[in-house]
Amino acid sequence: MGKRSVQEINASSMADIAFLLLIFFLVTTTMSVDKGLSRRLPPPMPEKKEQKDVEINQRNIYVVLINSRNQVLAQGKLVDVAQLREDVKKFIRNEGNDPTLPELLPLSVEIDGRTEQVMATTNHLISLQNDRGTEYQKYIEVQNELVAAYNEVRDDFARQKWGVSYSELSDERQSAIQKIFPQKISEAEPKNYGGKK
- Which positions touch another protein (CB under 8 A)? 11-12, 14-15, 17-19, 21-22, 25-26, 28-31, 33-44, 66, 130-137, 139-141, 143-144, 147-148, 151, 187, 190
CA distances from 49 to 35, 46, 52, 188 (A): 38, 6, 9, 18
Reference 89, options 121, 58, 65; nearest CA is 121
For the CB of residue 74, give the shortest distance to another protein in the complex, in Å: 17
Which residue type is seen at 10?
N
Bridge partners (DSSP) listed for residue 114:
111
Nearer to another protein, 66 or 92 (CB): 66
CB-wise, 104 or 129, nearer to another protein? 129
CB of 165 to another protein, least distance (A): 14
The least CB distance from residue 149 to another protein, in Å, is 9
Q: Give least dist CB 112 to another protein, A.
A: 26
- Whole-number Å distance between alpha carbons of 107 and 117: 6
Q: Closest Cα partner for 121 from 147, 83, 88?
A: 88
Instruction: Give 32 or 117: the residue with its C-beta nearer to another protein.
Output: 32
